Amino acid sequence: MAAEIQPKPQTRTPVLLNKIEASQDVVNTAVIIPKEDGVISVSDDRTIRIWLKRDSGQYWPSIYHTMPASCSCMSFNPETRRLSVGMENGTISEFILSEDYNKMTPERTYEAHQGKVTVVLFVLEMEWVLSTGQDKNLTWHCSESGTQLGLYRTIAWVSGLQFDVETRHAFVGDHSGQVTILKLEQDSCSLVTTFKGHTGNVTALCWDPAQRVLFSGSSDHSIIMWDIGGRKGTAIELQGHNDKVQGLCYAPHTHQLISCSSDGGIVIWNMDVTRQETPEWLDSDSCQKCEQPFFWNFKQMWDSKKIGLRQHHCRKCGQAVCGKCSAKRSTIPLMGFEFEVRVCDSCHESITDEDRAPTATFHDSKHSIVYMHYEPTTGWLLTSGADKVVKLWDMTPVVS
């Protein structure tokens, strides 16, 4: 009698919908046009291109515009069809796109920075154009008059910028690893606070105004969730990448965070679980389990006639332990550790299989990602790679 073959459950993964491969250089920023089967891209090859999907199923440029310098970043507002493009020469150029996305009309130029524009952000509600540059300046201009309203000098050049309309707070992430919160006014600004949790430079920021939570990604491979609205200083670490974090997008309808890294990894984080803060690492001159001295504790080494040991830390309790007392490894997903990390023996025994249940899924885009954009209305994700290719993904199988 033949045994019945049960079909294996299908692993849910992002679906690759299309590739756009015609760029001569790296596409630094690209966005999906909402309610239109199209993409806007700006590139190191000095071009702005509007790609529309044709009957053949392929994307072809309806607009191909060459700029005077390499295009480093952009901001697109679908409501007004205003496109703001930052360039290597410090200039921001604005255009208004026609309703059919076949024409682009120059609107205004801002001499905003002395070096490369790193981030540009158009805020419709304020009629402001915010921008940061390698000259370490944050500037904001009036989009109606073109005049500069204010300037703030940062300690390092900025690689991440978000803005909250309700409070007029600007979140600024820089290459020192620091995140600064500024309160912007029409012609001035004030420092609210700064916080630093990354050991590398901040590479991406994402602000969720509903929960009042800020996500920051870094070259140290980590993501930190800062609870701004809770006013308790809570910071949750997420460790799920093996390379520099390049992009962050939050899907509010499903409470999921999408992150990507330069090795091509795409991670979908379930943020609808109760996460725990990672503990502060404790200081000690000897192992807090077996009391063996660490190698700098000369007095105890001499008194006990024992060789000093190397210090480690348990990622679950934060205690200072020796290698023998922390030989085991475990994932701790609710603390953000999706990969196995060092834990002491007693913590290892306390971690259950339920505690090890993953809270993230991992996917490979198969190209080195330099930029990412998520469009929640369609559930599509755009990734731009160092291979000069833009990929479009249907994320509904995994973001749901």
Query: Are residues 331 and 229 part of one domain?
Result: no
- In this prediction, residue 106 carries a pLDDT of 97
pLDDT at 194: 92
372 shares a domain with 340: no
The pLDDT assigned to 3 comes to 40
pLDDT category at 4 given cuts 50, 70, 90 is very low
Residues 211 and 304 in one domain: no
Does the residue 8 lie in any domain? no
Mean pLDDT of the chain: 90
Query: Which tens digit of pLDDT belongs to each residue from 34-72?
Result: 988 999 999 999 999 999 999 888 999 999 999 999 999
Strand order in the sheet with 117-123: 117-123, 128-133, 137-142, 148-153
In a domain, residue 352? The reply is yes
- Domain with 383 in it: what CATH number? 2.130.10.10
Q: Domain for residue 292, yes or no?
A: no
At residue 232 the predicted structure's pLDDT band, cuts being 50, 70 and 90, is low
Judged against a pLDDT cut of 60, whether residue 279 lies above it is answered with yes
Note the pLDDT of residue 288.
85
Same domain? 216 vs 113: yes
Residue 149 lies in a domain: yes
Q: What is the pLDDT of residue 50?
A: 96
Both 111 and 177 in one domain: the answer is: yes
- The 3-class SS string of the chain reads CCCCCCCCCCCCCCEEEEEECCCCCCEEEEEEECCCCEEEEEECCCEEEEEEECCCCCEEEEEEEECCCCEEEEEEECCCCEEEEEECCCEEEEEEECCCCCCEEEEEEEECCCCCEEEEEEECCCCEEEEEECCCEEEEEECCCCCEEEEEECCCCEEEEEEECCCCEEEEEECCCEEEEEEECCCCEEEEEEEECCCCCEEEEEEECCCCEEEEEECCCEEEEEECCCCCCCEEEEECCCCCEEEEEEECCCCEEEEEECCCEEEEEECCCCCCCCCCCCCCCECCCCCCEECCCHHHHHHHCCCCECCEECCCCCCEECCHHHCEEEEEHHHCEEEEEEECHHHHHHCCCCCCCCCEEEEECCCCEEEEEEECCCCEEEEEECCCCEEEEECCCCCC
Q: Are residues 327 and 209 in the same domain?
A: no
Are 325 and 376 found together in one domain? no
Out of 165-169, 262-266, 334-338, least confident range: 334-338
Residues of the domain holding 336: 298-356
Do 340 and 379 lie in a common domain?
no
Q: Is residue 386 part of a domain?
A: yes
pLDDT band for 297, please (50, 70, 90 cuts): low
pLDDT digits (tens, 9 = 90+) for 182-218: 999 988 899 999 988 899 999 999 999 998 999 999 9
Both 212 and 119 in one domain: the answer is yes
Q: Is the pLDDT of residue 90 over 60?
A: yes
Residue 1 has pLDDT above 60, yes or no: no
- What total of structural domains would you count in the chain? 2
Residue 10 domain-assigned (yes or no): no
What is the spatial order of strands in the sheet that 71-77 belongs to?
71-77, 82-87, 91-97, 104-111
CB-CB contact of 299 with 282 (8 Å)? no
Q: Is the pLDDT of residue 87 over 90?
A: yes
User: What band does 18 get if pLDDT is binned at 50, 70 and 90?
Assistant: very high
Residue 119 lies in a domain: yes
- The pTM assigned to this predicted structure is 0.88
Residue 124 counted as domain residue: yes
* pLDDT per position as a tens digit, 235-273: 899 999 999 999 999 999 999 999 999 999 999 999 999
Confidence check: pLDDT of 374 > 80: yes
Q: What percent of the chain has pLDDT over 90?
A: 74
Residues 340 and 389 in one domain: no
| pLDDT of 301 strictly over 70 | no
Cβ contacts of 383 within 8 Å, gap of 6 or more: 247, 260, 266, 365, 367, 369, 371, 372, 390, 391, 393
pLDDT at 45: 93
Model confidence at 10: pLDDT above 60: no
Q: 251 with 309, same domain?
A: no
Task: Verify that 390 and 343 share a domain, yes or no.
Answer: no
Q: Quick one: average pLDDT of 371-390?
A: 95
CATH number at residue 311: 3.30.40.10
Is residue 307 predicted with pLDDT exceeding 70? Answer: no
Query: What b-and-e string marks burial along 188-223, b requiring 16 or more CB atoms within 10 Å of the CB?
Result: ebeeeeebebbebbbbbbbbbbebbbbbbbbbbbbb
